[in-house]
């Protein structure tokens, strides 16, 4: 990795246009938090979970209180460059498979079929491609994560629970999975839980239990565009969960060392639990599928990291903290980390994605909160071609050089990159073409 010093470097911005820039003199370190990887992820999270975080409502988390990881790049054959941007939360993983998709569409952000992968013991790396080199997840679906044996994702596969026939709607649910068999236990009759909504499509025929169907169709306080209001918690009842892959069963699990009756049912994307003894708002919960999946896929050590910096700016600072550029701004690099990457293309992509979402208490970031995504990156003979899609938030003549120099400072730290060519929404970007 190159250390940015005060030597001049030539930066290719567009065809025939070369600007000489001086790299910043200083770096300003800050302890990392896990920022939302992009605006779309944050908007999905805040709709249901900001009201919980801010104490406006007392109910279960849909995603979790905050991201559990940085922005990650994971292999996916059908995304640009065979890579997609993801981020993990307690309850799930958010993904953008196509960065050109309309940010206003519900399915622009998906949450992966993590339960299916853990049950089957294979990682999906494309629409029709899989890595079969891993065993099903021997992790409890509900209760304390360190208690094994229990009802695990692997046991769903071992007991062929996905092959069990769908219950008829209205059937009282009093079956439990004990050891290696399904048993009827009438002690559960007192809870009055029934099979409520049968889903029958190709490859799926299961009936959603009444507490879960009520949860998937519930309304409550949500947050959008700066306002709180009451609306459906899920704009599509199967958006967060996917379709059911099992029937619902009772189990006794350890929660804080206490044996607890819990109803569970697994869906493609999540497992839901119903604990009758929990207070209102917390009886139905989404299991920690995102946490379980990350542990299963990457181990308890997680990802290795590498040190990088991102380019931010101090407006009107006139070079006191770094290199002066544009409207008397100072370009300042901030030390941070990304998850370790194998190729320079992915290093540049990961560094830019980190920069786009970086929230600094004192410095400014043109890209923060803007719908801007890295579509692809190519590096050849010292030139990095960076293809961006979306809206970088350029609102005036001073923002134009900020857009360019933040990208340059972030991309050109790597030894293999001497020049940068920026493309925005398919067109080569020229300094001065926006913000006039």
Q: Is the pLDDT of residue 435 over 50?
A: no
Q: What is the mean pLDDT of residues 227-255?
A: 92
* Cβ neighbours for 360, distance < 8 A, ≥ 6 positions apart: 30, 312, 334
Q: How confident is the model at residue 282 (pLDDT cuts 50, 70, 90)?
A: very high
Q: How confident is the model at residue 251 (pLDDT cuts 50, 70, 90)?
A: confident
Q: According to the model, what pLDDT value does residue 103 have?
A: 81
Instruction: Show me where the domains of the chain are located.
Output: 8-33+305-428, 39-68+70-298
Q: According to the model, what pLDDT value does residue 131 have?
A: 95
What's the burial of 105, exposed, middle or buried (CB within 10 Å: 0-12/13-18/19+)?
A: exposed
- pLDDT (tens digit per residue) in 132-144: 999 999 998 886 6
Phi, psi of 294 (to 5 degrees): -60, -40
* Cβ neighbours for 30, distance < 8 A, ≥ 6 positions apart: 334, 335, 336, 360, 361
Q: Is the pLDDT of residue 245 over 60?
A: yes
Q: According to the model, what pLDDT value does residue 104 have?
A: 80
Burial 73-97 (b: 16+ CB within 10 A, else e): bbebeebbbebbbbbbbbbbbbbbb
- pLDDT (tens digit per residue) in 296-340: 998 876 778 899 999 999 999 999 999 999 999 999 999 999 988
Q: How confident is the model at residue 1 (pLDDT cuts 50, 70, 90)?
A: low
- pLDDT (tens digit per residue) in 160-219: 999 999 999 999 999 998 878 899 999 999 999 999 999 999 989 999 999 999 999 999
Q: According to the model, what pLDDT value does residue 258 have?
A: 78
Q: According to the model, what pLDDT value does residue 158 have?
A: 93
Q: How confident is the model at residue 6 (pLDDT cuts 50, 70, 90)?
A: very low
What does the mean pLDDT of the chain come to? 87
Q: How confident is the model at residue 29 (pLDDT cuts 50, 70, 90)?
A: very low
pTM greater than 0.75 (yes/no): yes
Q: According to the model, what pLDDT value does residue 20 have?
A: 29
Residue identified by tokens 């030539």 is 10
Q: According to the model, what pLDDT value does residue 102 have?
A: 86
Residue identified by tokens 């030390």 is 335
Q: What is the mean pLDDT of residues 404-412?
A: 96
Radius of gyration of the chain (CA): 24
Q: According to the model, what pLDDT value does residue 432 have?
A: 58
Beta-sheet pairing, 83-88 with 93-96: antiparallel
Q: According to the model, what pLDDT value does residue 8 have?
A: 30
Contact between 323 and 122 under an 8 Å Cβ cutoff? The reply is no
Among 67-71, 103-107, 298-302, which stretch is predicted with the lowest mean pLDDT?
298-302
Q: In the chain, what percentage of residues exceed pLDDT 70? A: 89
Phi, psi of 364 (to 5 degrees): -105, 155
Q: How confident is the model at residue 415 (pLDDT cuts 50, 70, 90)?
A: very high
Q: According to the model, what pLDDT value does residue 436 have?
A: 45
- pLDDT (tens digit per residue) in 31-42: 446 889 899 999
| Rounded Cα distance, 14 and 128, in Å | 37
């Amino acid at each position: 990795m190159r250390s940015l010093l005060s030597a001049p470097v030539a930066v290719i911005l567009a065809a025939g246009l070369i600007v000489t820039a001086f790299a910043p003199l200083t770096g300003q370190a800050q302890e990392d938090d896990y920022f939302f990887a992009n605006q779309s992820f944050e908007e999905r999270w805040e709709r249901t979970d900001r009201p919980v975080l801010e104490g406006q409502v007392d109910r279960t988390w849909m995603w979790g209180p905050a991201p559990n990881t940085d922005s990650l790049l994971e292999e996916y054959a059908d995304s640009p460059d065979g890579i997609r941007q993801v981020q993990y939360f307690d309850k799930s993983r958010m993904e953008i498979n196509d960065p050109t998709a309309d940010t206003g569409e519900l399915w622009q952000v998906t949450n992966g079929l993590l339960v299916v992968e853990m049950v089957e013991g294979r990682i999906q790396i494309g629409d029709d491609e899989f890595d079969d080199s891993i065993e099903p997840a021997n992790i409890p679906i509900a209760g304390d994560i360190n208690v094994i044996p229990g009802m695990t994702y692997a046991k769903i596969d071992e007991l062929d629970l996905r092959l069990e026939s769908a219950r008829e709607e209205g059937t009282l649910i009093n079956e439990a999975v004990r050891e290696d068999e399904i048993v009827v236990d009438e002690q559960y009759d007192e809870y009055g839980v029934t099979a409520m909504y049968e889903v029958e499509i190709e490859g799926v025929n299961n009936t959603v239990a009444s507490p879960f169907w009520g949860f998937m169709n519930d309304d409550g306080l949500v947050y959008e565009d700066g306002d709180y209001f009451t609306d459906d918690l899920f704009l599509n009842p199967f958006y967060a969960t996917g379709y059911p892959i099992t029937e619902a069963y009772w189990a006794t699990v350890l929660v804080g060392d206490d044996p607890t009756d819990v109803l569970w049912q697994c869906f493609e994307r999540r497992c839901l639990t119903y604990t009758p003894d929990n207070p209102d708002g917390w009886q139905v919960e989404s299991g920690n599928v995102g946490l379980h999946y990350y542990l299963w896929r990457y181990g308890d050590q997680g990802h290795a990291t590498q040190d990088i910096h991102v380019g931010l700016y101090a407006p009107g600072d006139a070079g006191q903290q770094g290199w002066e550029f544009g409207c008397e701004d100072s370009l300042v690099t901030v030390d941070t980390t990304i998850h370790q990457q194998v190729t320079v293309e992915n290093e540049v992509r990961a560094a830019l994605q980190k920069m786009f979402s970086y929230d600094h208490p004192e410095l400014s970031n043109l890209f923060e909160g803007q719908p801007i995504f890295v579509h692809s990156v190519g590096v050849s003979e010292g030139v990095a071609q960076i293809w961006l899609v979306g809206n970088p938030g350029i609102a005036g003549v001073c923002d134009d050089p900020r857009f360019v120099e933040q990208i340059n400072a972030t991309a050109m730290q790597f030894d293999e990159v001497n020049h940068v060519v920026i493309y925005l929404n398919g067109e080569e970007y020229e300094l001065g073409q926006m913000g006039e």
